[in-house]
Structure 1
């Protein structure tokens, strides 16, 4: 009875934290500071003549927004691993701290990916500025990301990482040593984050197509990734999703085909 109550309490706490992340994102999206959540608008302010202090503040706010977004989207899909780890370490006096370290390691990896993705996006826009045709036909970049994300759904790397994410118990057994519990907890989160990014990075790039501040798309993509990683039939979703993304990219090309004439 005590264990069952503890399980319910823990899941309620995690659910509350995830809900708070979503509510914070929603409030942020409707605030005067929403431009720091939208990578496109953030980029516009970046290209403006901002002071070094303002630019640094903008970067920090964007990173906070990205981390909130990944917490809201990705933590639900990793709850099975976190719950298994909590049960495994429940007899330790500092087990809640260890769980927090797993989550911290996981989110740090996603934050690192966000930095790389945004810098790449910024560099790409700098490069595009030299090519007027591409600059006036931004849809080409969207098509490129759609086809990239769709094609990655068929790659061996996708399935290797997805299989790791779909087996949380064996993952914890493989990466949890328990001797230096704090360090190993943090590294478990790091390892899980690496495989999760390896599985989902291409789908997350779609947020740069639809807008990183779009709550609706966050919910949709978060649900897709959670299904892929946790539902019994989730692995079978990857290929049809890849076909759909590539098909959408080709449809956009057809809709814009007169521009090639």
Structure 2
């Protein structure tokens, strides 16, 4: 069931308009900037158009399930062994709610970055993600992903607490890569594949410390490549 939802998330993300996660500006905003006339007070430019904002949030949720879903399958199986489907549903809702909060914040912050060159911004985010890979905070978060706390009882309350713990650890481990993915200027599906592989590899690696460094090196190379591309534009 969980695997099918993940596959449907990939298909759904591909069909979403413009992969809305990185398109939250109002379509008319740039035109309104040119409507100022002498003697008129400057017109306020809307930062986020409400329907587009909702597309961005929905895109983020679908992208999160597609990218992070494979890495969270062991936790879902663990919860399933402790209780019935209701426990899994509670876990999934709490886990996704934590990631949704992150998505809402990104959806509101992204328009404030519209004055920056998108490719240079993307390169900087990939570099930040690479540096995060070598931080102690990253190692601790990934450790929590690999070593979940003992499942508390009763089952539904335990699923809620475990979902919060797992979601927080997941965000702490992967927020930088997800932020870079959310603000990728183009070729979203092309970037999703290697980043999903990186996240999943870290989660299932027998030697997480080595996996973290390899993913960090990959992100640094990707940042360099995007930087070269941005310089040539």
The question of a shared fold, defined as TM-score above 0.5 by the shorter chain, is answered with yes
Q: CA deviation at 1:123?
A: 2.0
Q: CA deviation at 1:214?
A: 1.8
| Contact 1:39-1:212 within 8 A present in 2 as well | no
Equivalence for 2:129: 149
1:41 maps to 2:30: no
Equivalence for 1:10: none
| Contact 1:150-1:246 within 8 A present in 2 as well | yes
Q: CA deviation at 1:139?
A: 3.2
Equivalence for 1:4: none
1:244 maps to 2:218: yes
Equivalence for 1:17: 5
1:160 maps to 2:140: yes
RMSD value, Cα: 2.9
Equivalence for 2:103: 114
| Contact 1:38-1:212 within 8 A present in 2 as well | no
Distance 1:75 1:258, change over 3 A: closer
Q: CA deviation at 1:240?
A: 2.6
Distance 1:20 1:212, change over 3 A: farther
Structure 2: how far apart are the matches of 1:87 and 1:79? 12
Q: CA deviation at 1:107?
A: 0.7
Q: CA deviation at 1:252?
A: 5.0
1:199 maps to 2:181: no
Structure 1: how far apart are the matches of 2:57 and 2:227? 33
Name structure 2 gaps, 5 residues minimum: 33-44
Q: CA deviation at 1:189?
A: 0.9
- Structure with the largest fraction of helix: 1
After TM superposition, list the pairs within 5 Å mapping 1:1-261 onto structure 2.
13-28=1-16, 34-35=17-18, 37-45=19-27, 47=29, 55-89=49-83, 95-125=84-114, 128=115, 135=116, 137-167=117-147, 171-173=148-150, 176-179=151-154, 181-211=155-185, 214-250=188-224, 252-253=226-227
Q: CA deviation at 1:219?
A: 2.4
Deviations 1:160-213 (A, max 9, x none): 00011112xxx141xx3213x433322311221111000001111221443487
Structure 1: how far apart are the matches of 2:186 and 2:87? 31
SS at match of 2:24: helix
Distance 1:251 1:83, change over 3 A: closer
Q: CA deviation at 1:216?
A: 2.9
Q: CA deviation at 1:63?
A: 1.2
Name structure 1 gaps, 5 residues minimum: 1-12, 29-33, 90-94, 129-134
Structure 2: how far apart are the matches of 1:106 and 1:228? 19
Greater alpha carbon shift after TM alignment, 139-148 vs 156-165: 139-148
Count of equivalent residues:
220
Q: CA deviation at 1:250?
A: 4.1
Distance 1:72 1:138, change over 3 A: closer
